[in-house]
Amino acid sequence: KAGVTQTPRYLIKTRGQQVTLSCSPISGHRSVSWYQQTPGQGLQFLFEYFSETQRNKGNFPGRFSGRQFSNSRSEMNVSTLELGDSALYLCASSDRGDEQFFGPGTRLTVL
């Protein structure tokens, strides 16, 4: 099976802009989770989607949102970008709560 794919791999934006990141889970996986990784805060959970519904949510402001489509692909959106949003954004998929498989991530730089 193909692994989790994330697009784009790298992105540069300026403050105030918005960005949409995409994640395609492993075929058959219905759960998609998103994480933010920064040198200062480490790996932090953003949210999880299962069957198009948000099932878990971390402690991030409302500027961070996501959605999941009927084919389980997921998108994450960050509005009004701040410098502190520069990070590696990781997506993970799982099947019925089994181990999570992570994608390579999207490296977002906010200037």
Partner 1 sequence: LAKTTQPISMDSYEGQEVNITCSHNNIATNDYITWYQQFPSQGPRFIIQGYKTKVTNEVASLFIPADRKSSTLSLPRVSLSDTAVYYCLVGRSHSGGYNKLIFGAGTRLAVHP
Distance between CA 23 and CA 8 in Å, rounded? 9
Sequence-distant (6+) residues with CB within 8 A of 105 are 6, 9, 37, 88, 89, 90, 91
How many of the chain's residues bind partner 1 (CB under 8 A)? 29
Q: Tokens 């193909």 — which residue? A: 2
Considering the rule CB under 8 A, would residue 78 count as an interface residue with partner 1?
no
Which residue, 85 or 105, has its beta carbon nearer to partner 1? 105
- Using the rule CB under 8 A, which residue among 24, 33, 72, 74 binds partner 1? 33
Looking at residue 53, its amino acid is T
Which residue, 39 or 62, has its beta carbon nearer to partner 1? 39
Considering the rule CB under 8 A, would residue 64 count as an interface residue with partner 1?
no
